[in-house]
Structure 1
Amino acid sequence: MSSPAVSSDREKVVSKLPAWLRQTLKVRAAQHGIEIQTAVEQGIRDWCSLASTVSAVDTTGADSFATFLPNGQWEEFRQTASDRRLSLIQGLAQSVQLWLDMNPAPDIQRPAITRRIVVCNQKGGVGKTAITAGVGEALAENPDSLHPVRVAKALAEALRASDVPTTGAKSGDDPLEIENLPGLGLRVLLVDFDPQCHLTNQLGASPLPMDGDSLTNHMAGDPRGELRDLIVSVEDDNFDGRLHLLPACNDAFLLDVRLSAVRAREAALERALAPVEADYDVIIVDCPPSLGLSMDAAAYYGRRRNNEKPGQSGALVVVQAEDSSADAYELLTTQIDDLRTDLQVDIDYLGIVVNLYDSRRGYIATSSLQGWVDIKDPRVVGLIGDLKEQKEAVRVKKPLLSYAPKSQQAVSMRALAREVM
């Protein structure tokens, strides 16, 4: 959390706390959206008012800890610790532990209806897969740890000044404000809906065999087992079993042909995923670069359902700051608009993500970015730089947010996930 300006009614105090207790305090204060000094102030106040002592806290290895307290509170605390025959270090540790006990970690806010994010663009090579994986990882990150996030206000300022060379700058040159926030801790399913299996391969999983079961079979009404049996967990301590993947199969190249013989084919993806929806807070679909029947099914899956608020689910469009992305965007929006009209459904746009951006590429990049920003509806919700960490993560088949958790791309992915949610 950002430290506020210190007012004249507070004084700086220095003591010691064990590292584990200081880190827990830091995370818990962030989870409750308050400053560390406020948490310590509340803990000391409550500790001083207790009628009896509390259990001792292990302070082995305690090191320097400084904060700001209201004038006079530290002296009251010192006197209380003396009356209880406790060291200041033990008294402070008990105060912090008391605050932690009285302010447990808040429950994860889970949506009433599973949210569905359809990551799409007819043009290949814009990085839909990287955005799908990055957003999913950010949504599933550990809620009991702090992760660097680029705050939304700073992102908006960067978009307004699209010629500022921030996302293409070297590491350490980024002037945008970074804030450490708890992970969102959501249960996420990533659906590799692309027959090229890029998402599956990037996350280190194996594509499903052609002679076995697949999402294509379930959509075509010819399942060979339970869909949940195909789902694998993305093994990483940072996600703790919350991030899952439905791998792709090369048989998806035949999906449009097989869907042509299916009744109500626009609902095929929804029917296939229905048995597992309740297991997840968010399902993210990595779409192929296609405008065929499979894209119709994906867009329909992201439609607004009964009792679902606008903007909870829908299409997240990934583009690049160059002209061919604009042409592909027009084709995609035309298809979605036609689907809205033909089926009388509401399909919301969750926003535009400008991916692989580097202002050092000159006028085409900066002017194209400005063109995306000028659209307004849907608005630009993410600006992701073209940096090496994403490519390296793909090479070693690891999630970006684990491979390079403090990289500019990871920081931007977390901001994007919060914008979409």
Structure 2
Amino acid sequence: MTTPNPQGEREKLVSKLPATLRQALKVRAAQLTTDVQDAVTAGIEAWRACSEQLPTIDTSGAESFGTYVPEGLYDAFKEDCRAREVSYIQGMAQAVALWLDENPEDDGQTTRRFVVCNQKGGVGKTAVSAGLAQALADREMGKRVLLVDYDPQGHLSHQLGLKAIPAGEESLVTHMLHREQAKQSLMDLTVAIAADRFGGRLRILPAAFDAFLLDSGLTVFRGPRHAALERALAPLEEHFDVIVIDSPPSLGLAMDAGLHYARRRDGERPGASGLVIPVEAEDTSAQAYGMLINQIDSLSTDFDIHIEQLGLVVNKFDSRRGYIATSSRDRWIALGKPPVLAVIPDLKEQREAVRVQKPLLDYAPACEQVHQLRQLAQELNLS
């Protein structure tokens, strides 16, 4: 028995679950805005991948439970249960318990952090950063979002009609390198994006012109350089549900600080924060992605942290460019991990919005680019 679903066919799964597990599953899925069927699927996949012996769960009094899982997973799961010599009901209970353990209750106190990055310029980091932040702050999702222009080139600020903060004036750079000299709070430097659809929920921290000197400033910084961005932004986190950072195309110390800010914090659930990586459907993006992986691996090893790649965004895609574009897109999708979260077409609306310095969601809310950006926001919100 199958049911249509945008990610492929699904089949009915029928089992039994103890009432306490069934209720915990329902409540946790609702808290994390995740479909129960997706939670069960993730739990089964984690159970199948787990090589450790899991504790036996008391399933006495278990009651009927049904949901939908991807086609083929049901039979594969039952075969694994037989191989492990556990009952199907016990296996299902362990899978659900495993998902609950890996997806702890969101206490609402940890601001989610999405760092949009790639070592290659021109892949559309700014467009993805701005569009993601707008989709999260729009009426439909209603998140309080801070958009940080961390790139000294200031394209993000310019596209939204703002000027970079002049050299010598207080900025994010001041709060990263010389916080004790700052006379203003960083919150006072943020600017609300004036569009009714955002309801005051979307704010931007403009670029700083002297951010070009940030790497050299961090070189002589007396504190922990990798934590400089987090130290600066920490006082703002209580005011926002999500912080989206538009990163520079850099391998330097400033980017190390950005990657460190995206790490999974103690007690933070998997998928809550991490990296969103725009790429293009062409070969040089793959080379730049390899450079980013090396930087992530080095930082993770040096500081014993976990930096999660939440997913790729194939940006500025145009199938009319032929085999190079379509085959490159297919290769990105075939990676599987990190997943491709969205394929955003190269259409005129984005360029027009930049020209008139308006948010894309306000300029062309019904265009295909906006549809894909909403899908991206939804994917990240459910992760």
Q: Same fold (TM over 0.5)?
A: yes
- The residue number in structure 1 matching 2:40 is none
How many residues are paired up? Answer: 276
Q: 1:164-215: CA deviations, max 9, x gaps?
A: xxxxxxxxxxxxxxxxxxx000000000000000111111122111121011
Matched, 1:382 2:342: yes
Return the match for 1:260 from 193, 216, 219.
219
Q: CA deviation at 1:112?
A: 3.2
**AA paired with 2:280?**
Q
CA distance in 2, matches of 1:354, 1:272: 31
Matched, 1:194 2:151: yes
Aligned ranges 1:12-27 → 2 under 5 Å:
none
CA distance in 2, matches of 1:363, 1:410: 26
1:110 touches 1:281 (CA, 8 Å); kept in 2? no
Q: Which runs of 5+ in 1 are unaligned?
A: 3-30, 34-108, 143-182
- The residue number in structure 1 matching 2:307 is 347
- The residue number in structure 2 matching 1:133 is 130
1:110 and 1:210, CA in 2 relative to 1: closer, same or farther beyond 3 A?
Answer: farther
Q: Which runs of 5+ in 2 are unaligned?
A: 5-32, 36-105
Q: Which has the higher helix share?
A: 2
1:392 and 1:221, CA in 2 relative to 1: closer, same or farther beyond 3 A?
Answer: same
Return the match for 2:178 from 221, 230, 235.
221
1:110 and 1:283, CA in 2 relative to 1: closer, same or farther beyond 3 A?
Answer: farther
CA-atom RMSD in angstroms: 1.6
Q: CA deviation at 1:250?
A: 1.3
CA distance in 1, matches of 2:141, 2:233: 23
CA distance in 1, matches of 2:182, 2:169: 8
CA distance in 2, matches of 1:418, 1:272: 28
1:212 touches 1:224 (CA, 8 Å); kept in 2? no
CA distance in 2, matches of 1:355, 1:293: 26
Aligned ranges 1:347-366 → 2 under 5 Å:
347-366=307-326
- The residue number in structure 2 matching 1:203 is 160
- The residue number in structure 2 matching 1:240 is 199
TM-score, length basis structure 1:
0.64
**AA paired with 2:380?**
V
CA distance in 2, matches of 1:251, 1:290: 16
1:110 touches 1:186 (CA, 8 Å); kept in 2? no
CA distance in 2, matches of 1:111, 1:334: 32
Q: CA deviation at 1:231?
A: 0.6
Q: Helix, strand or coil: the match of 2:196?
A: coil
**AA paired with 2:182?**
R
1:234 touches 1:244 (CA, 8 Å); kept in 2? yes
CA distance in 1, matches of 2:236, 2:301: 29
- The residue number in structure 2 matching 1:312 is 272
Aligned ranges 1:247-286 → 2 under 5 Å:
247-262=206-221, 263-286=223-246
**AA paired with 1:351?**
G
CA distance in 2, matches of 1:203, 1:350: 26
- The residue number in structure 2 matching 1:114 is 111
Return the match for 2:256 from 296, 314, 321.
296
Q: CA deviation at 1:261?
A: 1.3
1:302 touches 1:313 (CA, 8 Å); kept in 2? yes
TM-score, length basis structure 2:
0.70
Q: Helix, strand or coil: the match of 1:296?
A: helix
**AA paired with 1:249?**
A
**AA paired with 1:342?**
D
CA distance in 2, matches of 1:245, 1:348: 24
Aligned ranges 1:41-56 → 2 under 5 Å:
none
1:214 touches 1:249 (CA, 8 Å); kept in 2? yes
2:177 touches 2:218 (CA, 8 Å); kept in 1? yes
2:168 touches 2:210 (CA, 8 Å); kept in 1? no
Q: Helix, strand or coil: the match of 1:295?
A: helix
1:196 and 1:110, CA in 2 relative to 1: closer, same or farther beyond 3 A?
Answer: farther
- The residue number in structure 1 matching 2:141 is 184
CA distance in 2, matches of 1:111, 1:414: 22
Q: CA deviation at 1:415?
A: 0.4
- The residue number in structure 1 matching 2:361 is 401
Q: Helix, strand or coil: the match of 2:182?
A: coil
Larger Rg: 1
